[in-house]
Amino acid sequence: MKLELRDITKRFPGVIANDSVNLEVNSGEVVALLGENGAGKSTLMNILYGLYTADEGEVLIDGAPVHFDDPGDAIEAGLGMVHQHFMLVPVFDLTENVILGVEPTSAGGRLDMGEARERVAEISARYGLDVDPSAIVENLPVGVQQRVEIIKVLFREAEIIIFDEPTAVLTPQEVSEFFEIIRGLKENGKGIIFITHKLGEVLTIADRITVLRRGRVAGEADPKTTTRQELSEMMVGRPVQLVVDKGPPSPGEVVLEVTDLAVADDRGHGSVAGVSFQVRAGEIVGIAGVQGNGQTELVEAITGLRHPVSGRIRIGGADYTGASPRQIHNSGVAHIPEDRQDDGLVLDFDLVENMILDGYYDEPYSRGLSIDWDHSRDVAERLVEQFDVRTPSVDVTAGHLSGGNQQKLIVAREFARDTKLVIAAQPTRGVDVGSIEYIHSQIVEERDSGSAVLIVSSELDEVTALADRILVMCRGRIVAEADPKITTHAQLGLYMAGETAPPEVRP
């Protein structure tokens, strides 16, 4: 099967989302659609999937023009979409989720679960998906939930499968397993469209690359010959610094000292099991590890959002074990939370309100009981300018900003104060290349101005690029300390999987 998009143009009031975009996918190949947030990737796919109607241009299957009024038509024609946010019923089992909407029935309209389970098992075996057709979906890890979505698409006999940012929610291991699945699909003759903004992934998995920028095709590339530098320039439209530019650290006195810290998660299970480390002024310490190995709870304990079970947390020499988030904030700690939309911002609030979110109660943002909105607004406007938050005004709500700008908003709020300790969890997750570059440079600047910096990231590239020292966490413990200049990703990967470091490099 051959799918072609020809000269697709889609206008929204005041903006051209797609401008004469061409794209072609054949059975048995993986085409990557690369672009920053807002480049028009999702609009294009929504047109293809029958959710939008193109203003101009046409969709052809095997050379014949087709028209989709809704996703049903697209599925009928052999298209399938795996969305980034899964559309599963958590309390249903895997097979029940797969057959939703296309339930096989036997005589008299009875649901034929037996047949359905057989077909799911067969699909699972053929594509090496390795799932239990009767497992309850909410009990499955994210990577397996994604496979349920893939089975849904295969169950509906899709020939061309669209993946929308499929790796955003996966751990590094899950990503490599996922790539195996993609290769299996390809070998079985499926055509794949892979939407992403991650350069490494397209180079690994794609047969061809199409780059979108501001609604236009900025270029096409062959993954065998192109480089990350070339791709990122195509994406952003200017040369991009992929390596973090930083000098050697000059560590000073200890700012953060964590001793024998144990923290329990929401269910009361110990997720940080006796962790000790120090972060000095003027250095960046990176905590690497597969997500879910206690990093989240560790950060929550240090920032006061979670009470530790035992152990000590000292900041600037004073004991802050079990202190409130506000006390810790007031001690000069900047905190970039792991989930900016859930924790870092109130999406319904405008930028002024978000800018004063954790400092509203005191000078200079308020006097007595009243907030000084005029002054707050001035500060917000200045910081938006200074930290390059792209917005038409400070009056729009934070929910209207792109992921990168939302993150820069948080960076502006947290870094504008006098800080002595910066704690940044997943500081660039889901953020476009241009913003990553900016946020990294700001973090390095914080270090150089004398703050102690603790970075937690599940992206190895980020940890190795930023950190002066790496601590690897696995199952709630620090299993190794590594020097990013001399440690390979492969070695770090082993530590992350739980292998302890040889004694001479342990902390």
DSSP β-bridge partners for residue 313: 258
CB of 118 to another protein, least distance (A): 29
Q: Is residue 361 part of the contact set for another protein (CB under 8 A)?
A: yes
CA dihedral of 253, 415, 344, 258, whole degrees rounded to 10: 0
Place of tokens 């009928």: 76
Binding test (CB under 8 A) with another protein, winner from 231, 401, 452, 463:
401
Q: Name which position in 128, 141, 252, 399 contacts another protein (CB under 8 A).
A: 399
Are residues 452 and 433 in contact, defined by beta-carbon separation less than 8 angstroms?
no
Q: By CB under 8 A, tell whether 266 contacts another protein.
A: no
Minimum CB separation of residue 54 from another protein in Å reads: 10
Give dist(CA 507, CA 317) in Å, integer. Answer: 21
276 binds another protein (CB under 8 A): no
SS3 label, residue 505: helix
Binding residue for another protein, selected from 133, 191, 286, 344, defined by CB under 8 A: 344
53, 134, 250, 449: residue in contact with another protein (rule CB under 8 A): 53
Of the CA atoms within 13 Å of residue 33, those in its CB half-sphere come to: 29
Interface residue with another protein among 56, 346, 488, 498 (CB under 8 A) is 346
Which lies closer to another protein via its Cβ, residue 66 or residue 273? 66
Q: How far is the CB of 491 from another protein (least distance, A)?
A: 30
CA dihedral 87, 92, 93, 99 (to 10 degrees): -60
Residues present in the chain in total: 507
Q: Give me the 163-192 binding string for another protein, x by CB under 8 A, dash otherwise.
A: -xx--x------------------------
Using CB under 8 A, count the residues that bind another protein.
Answer: 66
Strand partners, 286: 455, 470
- Number of C-alpha atoms within 13 angstroms, CB side, residue 19? 10
Q: Which of residues 96-135 bind another protein (CB under 8 A)?
A: none
Pick from 449, 489, 496, 447: which is nearest to 467 by CA?
447
- Return all residues near 305 (Cβ < 8 A) that are at least 6 apart: 325
Strand, coil or helix: 205? helix
3-class SS at 329?
helix
Q: Return the range that interacts with another protein (CB under 8 A); candidates 26-34, 96-104, 145-153, 161-169.
A: 161-169
How far is the C-alpha of 462 from the C-alpha of 354, rounded, in Å?
Answer: 27
Residue 335 interacts with another protein (CB under 8 A): yes or no: yes
x/- binding map, residues 413-442, to another protein, per CB under 8 A? -----------------x------------
Contact letters for another protein, residues 65-84 (x by CB under 8 A): ------x-----------xx
323 binds another protein (CB under 8 A): no
Buried/exposed code over 157-169 (b: 16+ C-beta within 10 A; e: otherwise): ebbbbbbbbbbeb
Contact residue for another protein among 20, 402, 441, 500 (CB under 8 A): 402
Binding segment for another protein (CB under 8 A), chosen from 26-34, 137-145, 160-168, 204-212, is 160-168
Asked if residue 155 binds another protein (CB under 8 A), the reply is: no
Which of 60/168 has CB closer to another protein?
168
Q: Which is nearer to another protein, 425 or 466 (CB)?
A: 425
Position 347 contacts another protein (CB under 8 A): yes
- Binding residue for another protein, selected from 72, 105, 360, 507, defined by CB under 8 A: 360
CB of 497 to another protein, least distance (A): 27
Please state whether beta strands 105-106 and 110-111 pair in parallel, antiparallel, or not at all (unpaired).
antiparallel
462 binds another protein (CB under 8 A): no
Stretch that binds another protein, among 239-247, 284-292, 325-333, 420-428 (CB under 8 A): 325-333
Site string for another protein, 280-319 (x = CB under 8 A): -----------------------xxx--------------
- 40 touches another protein (CB under 8 A): yes
**Least Å from the CB of residue 186 to another protein:** 23
Q: Which of 162, 33, 145 is nearest to 98 (CA)?
A: 145
For residue 252, give the nearest of 440, 447, 414, 425 by alpha carbon: 447
Query: Residues 376-382: contacts with CB within 8 Å, 24+ apart?
Result: 376/352, 377/352, 379/355, 379/416, 380/351, 380/352, 380/355, 380/356
As given in the structure block, the two tokens for residue 190 are 């499926």
Question: Could you say whether residue 366 binds another protein (CB under 8 A)?
Answer: yes
**How far, in Å, CA of 38 to CA of 52, rounded?**
16
500 sits near another protein (criterion: CB under 8 A): no
Q: Least CB distance from residue 382 to another protein, whole Å?
A: 20
CB of 483 to another protein, least distance (A): 32
Determine the angle formed by the axes of helices 433-448 and 403-415, rounding to 10 degrees.
10
Phi then psi dihedrals of residue 356, to 5 deg: -100, 10
Give the interface with another protein as residue ranges (CB under 8 A).
Answer: 12-15, 17, 37-38, 40-43, 46, 51-53, 71, 83-85, 87, 164-165, 168, 214, 303-305, 324-326, 329, 335, 337, 341-350, 353, 356-358, 360-361, 366, 369-371, 373, 390-392, 397, 399-404, 406, 430
